[in-house]
Structure 1
Amino acid sequence: MTWDEMRPLLEQGTIDTLYMVGWATVYAVLGGLPIGVLLVLTDRGGPLANVVANRVLGVVVNIGRSLPFIILLVALIPFTRFVVGTAVGPTAAVVPLAIGAVPFFARLVETAVREVDHGLAEAAHAMGGGTWTVVLKVLLPQALPSLVAGLTTTVIALIGYSAMAGAAGGGGLGTLALTYGYQRFEDGFMLVTVLVLILIVTAVQLLGDGAIRLLRRRERTGT
């Protein structure tokens, strides 16, 4: 296969992969961030301490994290078809990607928030700040570098998941690697596909590392 033949396929595959990963990341943040914060707040000694709620959330998150993505992908086919009307294509792949990423990111959020100095939260409470004021004004801002690191890890994991989703009909670079690289024995195409994935992962990691350094520099300088 010549480069002129590969290029349009790679361009569309890359667009589809970024589409899947981008939307799954949005849903992972929308779902995982509040769950991760609630895991901290409802824990023993937390401002919203509730053992039952904390354990239920913990069990749900642990179950979500323990399922291999390929099994989750297949198990969610009926739900995916119900939500988007089809079980194939990039839009359909967003559903299992997002559901798999939410518990993954939630645990990273929980870890990041727990690292914040409890003295800062207590001081904010002493000055009359409510629970959600403390969360929004103290815990999340202080945990922001760690949250960005967790988000970077989540996006990179989603890129890997998207390749598996692509192999199951989700589209993107995973489908191209399977269809052309494996089934049609186009070794050159497989190599180029792998290189594109490496470039995407490297770019995400560099952006994440740069954002973390910037946030930590601002913390040190107080700006």
Structure 2
Amino acid sequence: MSRPEFIFMLTRHDRTVENAADLIETARVAGVRHIGFKDIGLPFAELQTLASTIRGAGAKTYLEVVSLDRDSELRSIQAGIALGVDYLLGGTHVDEALKLLEGTSIRYYPFPGRISGHPSLLEGTETEIVRSAVDLVGRPGVHGLDLLAYRFVGNVPKLIRQVCAAVSNKPVIVAGSLDRTERIRATASAGAAGFTIGTALLDGAFPALPDLAQQIGYVQTIVRQL
């Protein structure tokens, strides 16, 4: 079992937090090298500052798109391009997104399956989600998948294993509700290349002191033990 990348999201309940920029130094000191945010929660000018600060901390930048209607999603993708992020996660309007992303160096990981609501939920059967995953990674310009596994009602470890096995040539990042140790371990065991955590860290959900540095340290310890 290889160790997945831990991506720290500056978000709570699928929104970028107002004090996101203030949290980056704590993450940098802790050695976090993958930091992301959502397309909603802060105005674009503040997202520009945020992306610049993340790069200044020596980390890769991730923008996760959670806007579900077409126009909002495409605006978010255009914002990601303007911000020069390294990775664009999420989104469901894949063909139109790929047209916008053509010629950029952004790594694109859309959502497989049917996505609804906010915070986002993953709908459909295991078979439908796997079929969607295979379809997506077959398109030039799709570099991997952003799987909302723990927003799925069912056998989540099995779903992750099935998706990872079906798209073994492309990495899968598991996002959403990784708020306990066993979920991180199950995600790694199932073959995911990475996982995101935001709300759980900011809310002190892990069995460590509730300050952010201790919470990040706990997750890093779990990853080192994998």
Q: TM-score, normalised by structure 1?
A: 0.24
Higher strand share: 2
Higher helix share: 1
Q: TM-score, normalised by structure 2?
A: 0.24
